[in-house]
Structure 1
Amino acid sequence: MDLILWRHAEAEEMAASDLARQLTTRGRKQAQNVAKWLRARLPDDALILASPATRTIQTVETLTDQYRVVRELAPNASVDDVLKAVGWPGGVAPTVVVVGHQPVLGEIAAQLLSSGHDQRSWALKKGALVWIASRDRNGNGQAVLHAAITPDLA
């Protein structure tokens, strides 16, 4: 399974509610840059899941209109909520993209890639993504970093 963790791009600070916060002009450009990079590499059968927050939906829509909103990915989701939603490590699909929030995306990356040694959260820049692949090596499951990209490098 390939798991792509994509943090929503820059959003406005204030709105009627946290879920209603929209992308800023800069955030739309960030999302477009990363979407262009990802589109060139993403398999056609990838399953794309987004938090119900407006800013994540606006981020994912720069990539595609073929996505599912999953309430378990909302702000304040837990690592277990997200990993259960994607079916890690076997996967609900061969490639799953999660468009979500900090700190949980950084917590997932730290947990999967640290092999249990250092599970502090990683800071993911707004609009950045981390691509993690699961594999079996000598009968042991492993998570391997496939790519990490920020909007300014996309």
Structure 2
Amino acid sequence: MDLILWRHAEAEDQREGLEDLERALTARGEKQAARVAAWLDRLLPEGARILCSPARRCDQTARALGRKFKVRPELGPAADVPGILEAAQWPSARQPVVVVGHQPVLGEVVAQLLGMDSGTCQVRKGTAWWLRTRERDGHQQTVVVAVQSPDAT
């Protein structure tokens, strides 16, 4: 299974009177989302499932891909690793799954799946981590297929 973890692009700062879920992408964030979306669109098969946090900044990031996606409340800012893996049906989903969400939980998913000792991995704004599960010698492994930064596209 392929799991693509895509952190939302740069969003406006929190300010009084603005709910966290309503924070929008900045102009820079819109460009970041468009660059990574173009990269993903070239590589993702048509049957890929795209799941998104209900936060406006995640919705805007996912919309840059130009494909249908499903908003999942359990992928919001308070998401946890088990919830993300369950929503993505890791590791048994038949098609690739893209999860558009938040740090630090996306970094925690990366760290857990790759067996990192630190418990978390830094995932920069707008960056997509493409992970794949495979079986080798009777053991399930997770490998990094690609990491795409919005600054590198």
Q: Please, what TM-score do these two structures have when normalized by structure 2?
A: 0.95
1:51 aligns with 2:53: yes
User: Which one of 4, 19, 31 corresponds to residue 33 of structure 2?
Assistant: 31
- Give deviations 1:52-92, integer Å, cap 9, x for gaps: 0000000000002400000110001000110011111112x
Q: How does 1:12-91 map to 2 (within 5 A)?
A: 12-14=12-14, 16-91=18-93
Structure 1: 5+ residue runs without aligned partners? none
How many residues are aligned here? 151
The CA distance in 2 between the partners of 1:103 and 1:18, in whole Å, is 15
- Give deviations 1:75-123, integer Å, cap 9, x for gaps: 01000110011111112x4200000000000000011012xx5142111
Match of 2:122 in 1: 123
Q: Structure 1 residues 119 and 94 mapped into 2: Cα distance closer, same or farther (>3 Å)? A: farther
- Give deviations 1:22-54, integer Å, cap 9, x for gaps: 000000000000001111101110000000000
Match of 1:9 in 2: 9
Q: Which runs of 4+ in 1 moved over 2 A?
A: none
- Read off the aligned partner of 1:8 and give its amino acid letter: H
1:145 aligns with 2:147: no
Give secondary structure in 2 for the equivalent of 1:40. helix
The CA distance in 2 between the partners of 1:14 and 1:65, in whole Å, is 28
- Read off the aligned partner of 1:78 and give its amino acid letter: D
CA RMSD, Structure 1 to Structure 2 (Å): 1.1
Identical-pair percentage:
50
- Read off the aligned partner of 2:101 and give its amino acid letter: G
Structure 2: 5+ residue runs without aligned partners? none
Match of 1:109 in 2: 110
